[in-house]
Amino acid sequence: MKCNVLIIIVLFIFSKTSLAEGCQQPKSLNKSQLLFMMNEMYIPSNPNAGGIQQVNFTEKNLTATELRKGITSQGAYQYRIIASGVALVEAQLIEGDDRAIFRMILMCKNNFSGKYIFSQSQGVMKPDRRQNTGDYIIEPAILLLN
Amino acid sequence: MKLLFSLFLFVCIVGQTAAESCSMPKSFTGLTLLIRVDGNYSPENPMAGTLQEMTFNRLNYKSTIMNTRESVEGSYRYTHLDTNLGQLNMREGVGDDLSLYTETFVCETNTTGYFIFSQTKGTIKPDVRQNTGIYVIRK
């Protein structure tokens, strides 16, 4: 009898633990500023190796600035959460006379940082089709005064 | 002789251009820096891959690890050693938690470059350790 009670208590404790939620992605990136730390390994698919991309999001557009080189590009984006802790950013940017089309999967580690996979299908930096990874950080909210 | 002279002139001009291509700030008061620590983990580089934001007022600084949002504060002294070379002398914590280290910066442009972190005493062991990374002056 004592043994049964003990087992039930242990099961209760463990079930509570397993119900603990993992990290969550924000519902929207509007008014957010993110930093993307690009993987440091230089390979043709990762020409910006070691760089830091600062991306500012409004409701429908984003502005991306590479902090070391100072190159900026902007355009439209779409954001949605596709699974628990996983978000997708799809963007169509204008880079000078060219267009860049890419997607980024963001997988959270905690509520404001994690890893990302960048997949370009068209862009200024060749090859057109290329992928690379890195860490992303969502900066603490900046109060925007209207 | 002519060749030697033109080579010398070439090196002089190139050398001159390289040295004048960027300058380190004269003071760190009011600056915000992003520090990206080299990604290779080793006992000397336990903070590998982290991104830190450092803000400076006249005497003190605050350093936030952006990946975890933990922060520490301390006092600093900045020395502008040469046009493109500067060094921060940092003092963080007290007693057993005291950390003493320097960050030596060499600029690549007026807003970015590389740094060497060199600790002589610290909470994160070993006491004497070094690592490198990239810095960006945000504002």
pLDDT in tens, B107-139: 999 999 999 999 999 998 899 999 999 999 997
Residues 58-117, chain A, touching B (beta carbon < 8 A): 67-68, 70, 109-110, 112-113
Strand segments (E) across A27-111: 33-38, 52-57, 61-66, 72-83, 86-95, 98-110
> What pLDDT shows up at residue B127?
93
Within 8 A of A39 by CB-CB distance, chain B residues are 39
pLDDT score of A135: 96
Structural contact between residues B84 and B106, judged by C-beta atoms closer than 8 angstroms: yes
Which residues make beta-bridge pairs with B115? B105, B133
Interface membership of A141 toward B (CB under 8 Å)? no
Residue A8 lies in a domain: no
pLDDT at residue A4, rounded to an integer? 78
B72 to chain A nearest CA, in Å?
16
Percent of chain A at pLDDT > 70 equals: 86
Task: Work out the percent of chain A whose per-residue pLDDT is above 90.
Answer: 68
- What is the ipTM for the molecules in this complex? 0.79
Contacts 24+ apart (CB under 8 A), A67-72: A67/B34, A67/B111, A67/B112, A67/B136, A67/B138, A68/B108, A68/B109, A68/B112, A68/B134, A68/B136, A70/B109, A70/B111
Q: Give Cβ neighbours of residue A124 (< 8 Å, ≥ 6 apart).
A: A73, A95, A96, A98, A100
Domain membership of residue A92 (yes or no) is yes
Tell me, yes or no, whether A19 lies in a domain. Answer: no
> Does residue A13 lie in a domain region?
no
Q: A103-114 pLDDT, tens per residue?
A: 999 999 999 999
CB–CB of B51 and A135 under 8 A? yes
**CB burial class (10 A; 0-12, 13-18, 19+) of residue A127?**
exposed
**Domain range for A120:** 24-138
φ, ψ (nearest 5 deg) of residue A112: -135, 10
B63-119 pLDDT, tens per residue? Answer: 999 999 999 999 999 999 999 999 999 999 999 899 999 999 999 999 999 999 999
Q: How many A/B residue pairs have CB atoms within 8 Å?
A: 42
Whether the per-residue pLDDT at B17 is higher than 90: the answer is: no
Residue B13 has pLDDT above 60, yes or no: no
Q: Supply the mean pLDDT for chain A.
A: 87
Interface contact A52-B136, CB threshold 8 A? yes
CB contact under 8 Å between B66 and A137, yes or no, is: yes
> How far B7 CA lies from chain A's nearest CA (Å)?
31
Whether A36 has a pLDDT exceeding 80, the answer reads yes
Contacts 24+ apart (CB under 8 A), A6-11: none
Of B38, B73, B78, B43, which is closest to residue B58 (Cα–Cα)?
B78
Confidence class for position B11, pLDDT limits 50, 70, 90: low
pLDDT of residue B57: 97
Q: What is the pLDDT of residue B130?
A: 94
pLDDT of residue A20: 42
Do the Cβ atoms of B67 and A139 come within 8 Å?
Answer: no
The SS3 call for residue A6 is helix
Q: Domain for residue A128, yes or no?
A: yes
* Domain count across chain A: 1
**Can you tell me the distance from the alpha carbon of B41 to that of B133, in angstroms, rounded to the nearest whole number?**
12
Domain-located, residue A109: yes
- Mean of pLDDT values over A117-130: 90
More confident residue, A20 or A131: A131
- The average pLDDT across A39-52 equals 92
* The pLDDT value given to residue A144: 46
Alpha-carbon span A87 to A25, nearest angstrom? 7
Residues of A in contact with B134 (CB under 8 A): 50, 52, 68
- Nearest 5°: phi and psi at B16? -65, -45
Asked if B66's CB is within 8 angstroms of A113's CB, the reply is: yes
Q: Is the pLDDT of residue A25 over 70?
A: yes
Quickly state the pLDDT bin for A6 (edges 50, 70, 90).
confident
Rounded distance, CA A21 to CA A29, Å? 21
